[in-house]
Amino acid sequence: MKKRVIAAAVLLLLLAPTLSFAGSGYEGGFYTNNEDDTFRLTTSGRVQPQLFYEKEKQGPAIFSFAMRRAEVSFNATVHEKGHLGLTLKHSQFSPGGTSTFATVNVTGAYASIDVIPELTITAGMVGLPLSFINEVSSKWLLVTESPIVVSEDDVSFPLTPLRSSFGTPDGLGINLSGGYWKWFYSLSVVGANESNYEINKDSKRMSVGFWTGFNILDPVPGKLTDFDCSDTPKFMVSVGSDYQPKRYQYDPSNPNANPVEIGYIWTSSLGTAVRWAGLSFTAEGFYKRTKINNPGYLAGSGAAWIRPMLTEMGYYAAAGYYIIPKKFEIAAQASQAFRQGPGNDSWELGGGLNYYIFENNMKLQLNYRMYRFFAEDSDPNDPNFGTYTRNNAQHDVVLMLSATF
């Protein structure tokens, strides 16, 4: 029934405007508008099917097809300054993921107004801004996946609270964004549970995040690639910070165990980006401090090493170059996370080739990645069985078609 309702809603949104609107066309998506263009509805979407090979040192090889992402978006503009948006999305978070097409989520639901050229106010699913990479759509990545420093979970649960790396948390709230001269900024306030689907149960606490930067030369667009093969150099620097207040972290494998009480999580970023003549380079560093109010006990695991303050750092660097402008690109990406405590660090190194069939609306990506991380030893014949060990390396080869309309 849920899927039927979603399908009916999508069909209605697609067909209803065409019945009464005066104009239609294609500009960043299929659009319909009224006679004086005071209202325009744009429909866009993306599918990213892939064929992948994945081999872990401590696990069997996987060779399969998958749907990395599939989404459809509806965006309306009212009198040029008002905007509404809604996205329906399916995503498998990584090759070999367990998501199915029954997991269709509403994301990107928002309403915004351009108050002045320097200020836009947005309400809805705004999340917390932090860094450049968190503002980049997956269709503009150099490789098929974001760097692990913003996408990986801390899998070493017996050692630290389960938490993401340095990615942007979700959250319903309000965002202020804009720019002046060469400066740009984004500031959000969201519910302290950073959820798009839950009410903020403690009205006294909110999470706050900002990201700001300066374009030293021409402005850098929100892409990891220099698809336009810029005639003039583009160069920017940025800084960001998020503050997430008190919360409790439960062990998902043991929900009846006592939770870890986290006093706060403070994350910051520092980054730079360069684009010129088909060459792109982006790098950012991250720093995080997590205050633990009940150190010495971790959700029934018996681990007593937890300190009152956990400190983590990480970075990524991504580079690309067009051998044939707007057609054939080589790319590389590296990322590393340094987490406090034994058995927590991880890193990745990879790269690939991108062939643009129809500009960025249709491209073919071939990537290889080596990924090393700590994971539980699952081999019962190994003397370290049941413990977390560094010796887990994963090799990924992915062939992905990215089609956008």
Residue 60 resides in a domain: no
Distance CA 233, CA 145 (A): 26
Length of the chain as a residue count: 405
Average confidence (pLDDT) over 171-175 = 92
Q: Are residues 205 and 276 in the same domain?
A: yes
Does residue 61 lie within any of the structural domains? Answer: no
166 and 290 in one domain? yes
| Percentage of the chain exceeding pLDDT 90 | 49
pTM for this model (two decimals): 0.86
Single residue among 96, 112, 128 that ends a domain in this structure: 112
pLDDT confidence of 393, banded at 50, 70, 90? confident
Same domain, 101 and 132: no
Regarding whether 238 and 366 lie in a shared domain, the answer is yes
Q: Are residues 235 and 105 in the same domain?
A: no
Quick one: 239 and 260 in the same domain? Answer: yes
Question: Would you list the DSSP string of 322-374?
Answer: EEETTTEEEEEEEEEEE-SSTT--EEEEEEEEEEEEETBTEEEEEEEEEEEE-
Lowest mean pLDDT among 113-122, 188-197, 209-218: 188-197
Residue 60 has a pLDDT of 83
Question: Interior CA angle at 110 toward 40 and 241, to 5°?
Answer: 130
Q: Is residue 40 part of a domain?
A: yes
Tell me whether residue 13 is in a domain.
yes
The last residue of one of the domains, among 112, 138, 164, is: 112
Cα distances (Å, whole numbers) of residue 168 to 188, 243, 273, 282: 11, 11, 19, 18
Same structural domain, 84 and 121: no
Residue 94 sits in the same domain as residue 223? no
pLDDT of 261 > 60? The answer is yes
* Contact in structure between 302 and 329 (CB atoms under 8 Å): no
Segment (H or E) for 42: strand 39-56
pLDDT at 74 over 70: yes
Domain range for 140 is: 117-404
Between CA 361 and CA 28 the distance in angstroms is: 10
313 belongs to a structural domain: yes
Q: What percent of the chain has pLDDT over 70?
A: 77
pLDDT at residue 156, rounded to an integer: 39
In a domain, residue 172? The reply is yes
Residues 94 and 219 in one domain: no
36 and 122 inside one domain? no
Burial 303-320 (b: 16+ CB within 10 A, else e): eeebeeebebebbbebbb
Classify residue 366: in a domain, yes or no. yes
* Residues 72 and 197 grouped into a single domain: no
Q: Is residue 58 part of a domain?
A: no
Query: Do 137 and 262 lie in a common domain?
Result: yes
CATH number at 240 reads 2.40.160.10
The domain total for the chain is 2
pLDDT band at 194 (very low <50, low <70, confident <90, very high): confident
